[in-house]
């Protein structure tokens, strides 16, 4: 177990693994997303109150879920970096932040499209929406931090401090915004069960799974790029690319 | 070494002190009973809520929606299945606004005539997603 | 023999008082921003009274951003930060004092000023007192987040610092404004207590992360 962990956080080993597994993972994720979304859009039943409109759930919920999960994994990575100085953790944070920003934007966008017919407005300053918007701002602020230092190590440390403080603060922001305004329906899926009918739930779960696979694949690719940027002058990089020729 | 230990003592003691003060404040806050949203029963009970702006939530009562033909004025009853309150609203209603579905109204409650004057109406769709056929079957069963 | 910490306090206070830009900068900024609002929204009494709490809070938040770079930047430039780090004194206490002095000279005057200006925005007297109380609890949070942003961007004070501070400060802003808006309701104390809890929760965590951020410039 420990050996596996050590191998995963070593740049050359991770790079090779990612290089091999990326095509399969990427293809699989596209297939799963297509399966989930197409099933949801064309074959799942019509919702009784919302009609056809609800089908955007198959994009909205996975995007929102991925957007939040990315932040939590980044918090874990930041703690790892601050305590053990594992470089892979900072590579992870820096690669995932842009993905998080994109998916947060996607969640907001699909949410707006969904809100227009159901709530009667593209945007309300409601708790869930506002805190998602803040999540997007936080992602963008973290990304803008990437280029504000001269030294690599300073950037890594600054990013992990901001990610960690943001991670502690995010639930507080959420709560305070909730006191401020709430309209968004409560969570449909909890650990104890789901209030979504099975026929609708299964494609949704497939779609969520597909989004996670996609983020894993693209995240791995982005981490490879980040590793190359850092290790470009190392021998193992040269070896890999000379071998290929 | 001694200074290092002393510095650590300073840090840890202030950490513990301020976190416990924070904790005390959270407990104090939780002891305050706060309603962020009122039900019709809250408003019709004897206790008077003196607020310029508050939110009520409930279901739109069946056969209670009266929409005037030449203007955007609407009257309807919001119920929590025990008590109901008349709500007056002037403006465009959201699509999901219909009888027996959830609604949130923001505005103020006039105790003198017992009418809630809403400034904003939001339809709250619930977290349940049910296919049409299943719903029909459910209704037929009961 | 005065202690190191007391001297830090004295020296920083003198620096603030001797330099009009660091002392008056936020005040001038605050006054000019709150003047913009009536010019933009009109001088309607009712409208301004409704907006006043938010206007004053937002203006103070923005004015606070101006003074952040002063907290650690000068010490970094003239090299005294190196000496403090090497001295073996409690950095936690030292940073707390520096942040306190910054708050004392840039936020406290604004709190008094906001009491005066609240009457220009037709805020009721009771609400104005609550406003001052929420600012009293909220501005130290702003100062600490600002200190963190300043510590992160010691090398070049840039806009990135501000864009990190503002989203993090949101709970303080929201709780403060909610408290003012419910100044005659029973929820008032709920929000005040929560704001206080947020303050005391932030103190150790933010000051410790300030130190972490400072250290990364010396690694």
The tens digit of pLDDT for each residue in A113-123 reads 887 777 667 77
Q: Up-side HSE of residue A234: CA atoms within 13 Å toward CB?
A: 10
pLDDT band at residue A66 using 50, 70 and 90 as cut-offs: very high
| DSSP state, residue B114 | T
User: A88: part of which helix (H) or strand (E)?
Assistant: helix A87-119
Whether residue A180 is predicted with pLDDT greater than 70 in this model: the reply is: no
- The SS3 of residue B119 is strand
A contacts of B131 (beta carbons < 8 Å): 44-48, 197, 199-200
Low-confidence residues of chain B: pLDDT under 50: 142
The sign one gets for the Cα dihedral C155, C159, C162, C164 is negative
Specify the pLDDT at position A223.
92
A contacts of B126 (beta carbons < 8 Å): 49, 185, 195
Give the gap in angstroms from C-alpha C216 to the nearest C-alpha of chain A. Answer: 6
Specify the pLDDT at position A189.
43
Output the six-digit token pair for A162: 């901001």
The tens digit of pLDDT for each residue in A2-12 reads 777 777 778 88
Specify the pLDDT at position A186.
45
A194 in contact with B at a CB cutoff of 8 Å?
A: no
Whether residue C92 is predicted with pLDDT greater than 50 in this model: the reply is: yes
User: Of the ranges A43-57, A210-224, C159-173, which one carries the lowest mean pLDDT score?
Assistant: A43-57
**More confident site: A146 or C187:** A146
> What is the arithmetic mean of pLDDT over C153-166?
72
Whether residue C95 is predicted with pLDDT greater than 70 in this model: the reply is: yes
**More confident site: B114 or A205:** A205
Specify the pLDDT at position B52.
67
What is the DSSP annotation of C150-162? HHHT-SS--HHHH
Distance CA C84, CA C95 (A): 10
Give the gap in angstroms from C-alpha A164 to the nearest C-alpha of chain C. Answer: 10
Specify the pLDDT at position A190.
41
Closest CA to A100 of A147, A66, A51, A150: A66
Which of C160, C216, C219 lies at the smallest CB-CB distance from A145? C160
Distance CA C164, CA A127 (A): 20
Specify the pLDDT at position A183.
43
Domains of chain B by residue range:
1-34, 40-123
* Domain B40-123 of CATH type 3.90.950.20: no
Specify the pLDDT at position A184.
45
pLDDT band at residue A185 using 50, 70 and 90 as cut-offs: very low
Judged by CB atoms closer than 8 Å, whether chains meet at B28 and C193 is answered as yes
Q: What is the mean pLDDT of chain A?
A: 82
Other Cβ atoms less than 10 A from the Cβ of A202: the count is: 15
Q: What is the mean pLDDT of chain C?
A: 85
pTM beyond 0.90: the answer is no
> What is the arithmetic mean of pLDDT over A146-150?
75
B129 in contact with A at a CB cutoff of 8 Å?
A: yes
Rg of chain A over all Cα atoms, to the nearest angstrom: 20
A43 in contact with B at a CB cutoff of 8 Å?
A: no
């Amino acid at each position: 177990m420990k050996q596996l962990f050590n191998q995963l956080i070593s740049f050359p080993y991770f790079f090779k693994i990612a290089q091999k597994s990326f095509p399969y993972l990427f293809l699989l994720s596209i297939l799963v997303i297509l399966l989930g979304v197409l099933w949801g859009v064309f074959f799942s039943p019509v919702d009784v109150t919302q009609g056809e409109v609800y089908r955007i759930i198959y994009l909205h919920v996975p995007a929102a879920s991925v957007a939040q999960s990315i932040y939590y994994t980044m918090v874990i990575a930041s703690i790892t970096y601050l305590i053990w100085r594992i470089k892979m953790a900072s590579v992870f944070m820096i690669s995932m932040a842009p993905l998080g920003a994109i998916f947060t934007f996607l969640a907001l966008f699909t949410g707006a499209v969904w809100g227009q017919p159901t709530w009667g407005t593209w945007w309300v300053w409601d708790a869930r929406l506002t805190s998602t918007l803040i999540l997007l701002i936080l992602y963008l602020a973290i990304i803008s931090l990437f280029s504000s230092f001269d030294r690599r190590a300073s950037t890594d440390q600054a990013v992990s401090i901001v990610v960690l403080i943001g991670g502690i603060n995010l639930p507080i922001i959420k709560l305070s915004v909730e006191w401020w305004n709430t309209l968004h329906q409560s969570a449909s899926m909890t650990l104890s069960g789901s209030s979504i009918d099975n026929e609708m739930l299964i494609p949704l779960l497939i779609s969520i799974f597909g989004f996670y696979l996609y983020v894993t694949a693209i995240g791995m690719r982005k981490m490879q790029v980040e590793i190359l940027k850092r290790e470009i002058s190392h021998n193992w990089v040269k070896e890999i690319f000379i071998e290929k020729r | 070494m001694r200074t290092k230990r002393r510095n650590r003592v300073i840090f840890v003691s202030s950490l513990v002190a301020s976190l416990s003060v924070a904790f005390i404040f959270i407990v104090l806050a939780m002891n305050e009973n706060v309603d962020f949203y009122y039900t019709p029963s809250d408003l019709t009970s004897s206790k008077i809520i003196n607020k310029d702006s508050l939110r009520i939530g409930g279901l739109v009562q069946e056969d209670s929606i009266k929409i005037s033909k030449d203007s955007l004025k609407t009257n309807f009853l919001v119920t929590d299945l025990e008590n109901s309150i008349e709500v007056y609203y002037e403006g465009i209603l959201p699509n999901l606004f219909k009888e027996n579905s959830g609604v949130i109204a923001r505005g103020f409650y006039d105790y003198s005539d017992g009418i809630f004057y809403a400034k904003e109406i939001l339809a709250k769709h619930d977290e349940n997603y049910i296919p049409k056929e299943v719903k029909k079957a459910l209704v037929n069963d009961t | 023999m005065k202690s190191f910490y007391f001297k830090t306090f004295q020296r920083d206070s003198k620096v603030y008082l001797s330099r009009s830009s660091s002392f008056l900068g936020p005040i001038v900024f605050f006054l000019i921003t709150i003047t913009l609002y009536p010019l933009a929204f009109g001088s309607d009494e009712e409208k301004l009274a409704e907006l006043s709490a938010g206007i004053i809070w937002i203006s103070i938040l923005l004015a606070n951003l101006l003074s952040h770079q002063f907290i650690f930047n000068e010490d970094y430039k003239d090299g005294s930060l190196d000496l403090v780090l090497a001295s073996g004194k409690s950095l936690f206490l030292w940073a707390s004092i520096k942040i306190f002095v910054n708050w004392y000279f840039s936020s406290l005057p604004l709190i008094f000023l906001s009491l005066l200006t609240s009457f220009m925005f037709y805020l009721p007297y009771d609400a104005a007192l609550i406003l001052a109380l929420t600012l009293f609890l909220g501005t130290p949070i702003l100062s600490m987040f600002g200190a963190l942003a300043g510590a992160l961007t010691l090398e070049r004070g840039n806009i990135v610092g501000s864009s990190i501070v503002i989203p993090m400060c949101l709970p303080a802003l929201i709780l403060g404004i909610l408290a003012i808006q419910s100044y005659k309701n029973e929820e008032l104390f709920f929000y005040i207590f929560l704001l206080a809890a947020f303050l005391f929760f932030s103190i150790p965590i933010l000051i410790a992360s300030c130190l972490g951020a400072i250290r990364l410039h010396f690694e």
